[in-house]
Structure 1
Amino acid sequence: MGWSGCVLATQLQALGVRVVGTTRDPASAPDDGLLRHPLRTDTTLSAALLDEIAQAEAVLCSVPPDAEGDPALRVLLPALQASPALRWVGYLSSTSVYADRAGGWIDESSEADAVEATGMQRRRAEAQWRALAVERGITSALFRLPGLYGPGRNALLQLSQGRARHIVRPGLVFNRLHVEDLAAVIIAALQRPAAQGLYLPSDDEPAPPQDVLAFAAQLGGFAMPAAVAWDDPALSPTLRRFYQSNKRIDSRGTRAVLGWEPRFPTYREGLRNLLR
């Protein structure tokens, strides 16, 4: 139950749903009243966690993948296979499952054709969760997400703390999704379970990252950091790889199927709300 999981849990609790999560490090978990059980890949599952899994009707995973797929699923698989109550599983994936489109559009019908390591790991984890759902004969949902932002993680906060990076690649655009909109999408998918749901929630405006940063700087009265070219050798290889992929997300199919519209259709509405 990380950052996005906490936002989702709060919204579900407001609807009267009982929510339990896991954490890799209980000592670092916030004191927010949400119930978390330790989950490590190198230790035995606790009896309390096994009991929660046996009672769970829906399980959502937001754990990043590794070279073999989903490390959490490898630990939880026997318990999930045996859980008598389980009806739905979901996985928070990424649009990294798609290869670079040179600024072109992707939607729910696009082929997940990534061949670089990060995208392949995501594809492997997706397949593992799908296989569990098929084996159990239950519904499932994959959420292929763009960059998330919201309270605690946004350009305003990065600028105020001197952590903002002004990296420029001409022609590059990204879609974004406010974390509260993500929670709303997941709840909509829970309310409309599908055999193999696939969703690409996003905002309405693929935009250059420097435009978002400039808007945040103007909004908050901050100075813009010096610009750095995306292929500058001083940047880490991981960061340079992040700026290599250029694609736009068409989320109309997801909206139609789930009856969902983003509360924050562009970064402007989202950042104004975060400023308040």
Structure 2
Amino acid sequence: MAAELAENLTNKGCRLLLLGSTSAYPPKAEDLTDERCEINKTLPRVQSEEHLREAYGAIVLRLAGLYGPGRHVLNWIRRGKIRNTPRYVNLIHIEDVAALSLAALQQASPGSSYIVSDGTPRLWADICEYASTQWHIPIPEPTTPKDAGKRLSPQKILHELQYELRHPDLFKELDEIEREGEEIIET
């Protein structure tokens, strides 16, 4: 079904953009992860992305964790969705994802793949500490991670599409979202 849709669209001159996940890359905290690193092709989602990329020229954006209005990291801590752990996490503001998606549709070569993150890997433990210090949010009990996570590099997409992040500073953005104090229902 996806192949039929892709073929139909590409035959009409349409470009395909897939929003994937950086979970396609295995944990590897000791070095930066970029697009030259192996992806986990045993995952069905990654297999589909790669098929559409290779066969139909789909552009794949592999997204780090999304935050912004409607996706508030501090609320995740308040609700117990985040563990206080020394595991790397990579995030990207949803407005940068939207802008980079448009730029990729306009400029990227067919079959390109990109990592999309803010380029500053952080430890969940550090984010929890910031939430406590800055906003008096109780820190969850420390936990041991199953792995060290990964540190992502978005340099390829930023360089090739000549894009400058609008929201490069997670803590500044969290402060702004928190100050606005909007009650947002998250899914």
TM-score by length of 1: 0.57
Q: Aligned in 2, Cα 1:143/1:245: closer, same or farther, shift over 3 Å?
A: farther
1:122 to 31, 45, 53: 45
Contact 1:99 1:245 in 2 (8 A): no
Structure 2 residue aligned with 1:53 = none
Structure 1: runs of 5+ lacking an equivalent: 1-73, 134-138, 232-242
Are 1:149 and 2:74 matched, yes or no? no
> Partner letter of residue 229 of structure 1?
T
Q: Is the 8 A contact 1:182 1:201 kept in 2?
A: yes
Alignment of 1:223 with 2:146, yes or no, is no
Task: State the secondary structure of the residue aligned to 1:151.
Answer: coil
Q: Which residue pairs with 1:169 in the alignment?
A: 85
Matching residue of 1:266 = 169
Deviations 1:31-87 (A, max 9, x none): xxxxxxxxxxxxxxxxxxxxxxxxxxxxxxxxxxxxxxxxxxx3x543442345342
Distance 1:122 1:244, change over 3 A: farther
Higher RCO structure, 1 or 2 (CA under 8 Å, sep 6+): 2
- 2 CA distance for matches of 1:79 and 1:204? 34
In structure 2, what is the equivalent of residue 158 of structure 1?
Answer: 76
Structure 2 stretches of 5 or more lacking a match? 181-187
How far apart are the structure 2 equivalents of 1:104 and 1:245?
Answer: 11
Structure 2 residue corresponding to 1:194, chosen from 100, 106, 109: 109
Query: Please, what is the CA RMSD of the aligned residues?
Result: 2.4
Deviation of residue 166 (structure 1)? 5.0
Cα distance in 2 for partners of 1:244, 1:123 equals 21
Q: Distance in 2 between matches of 1:214 and 1:169?
A: 11
Q: State the identity as a percent.
A: 26
Superposed counterparts of 1:1-276, under 5 Å: 74=1, 76-83=2-9, 85-112=12-39, 114=40, 120-133=43-56, 139-159=57-77, 162-165=78-81, 167-170=83-86, 172-219=87-134, 221-230=135-144, 243-244=146-147, 246-275=149-178, 276=180
SS at match of 2:83: strand
The Cα shift of 1:182 comes to 0.6
Corresponding residue pairs, total: 178
Change (3 A) 1:166 1:109: closer
- CA distance in structure 1 between the aligned counterparts of 2:137 and 2:175, rounded to whole angstroms: 17
The alignment's TM-score, normalised by the length of structure 2, stands at 0.81
Q: Structure 2 vs 1, CA of residues 179 and 85 (structure 1 numbering), >3 Å: closer, same or farther? A: same
Task: State the secondary structure of the residue aligned to 2:89.
Answer: coil
Extract structure 1 runs of 4+ deviating beyond 4 A: none
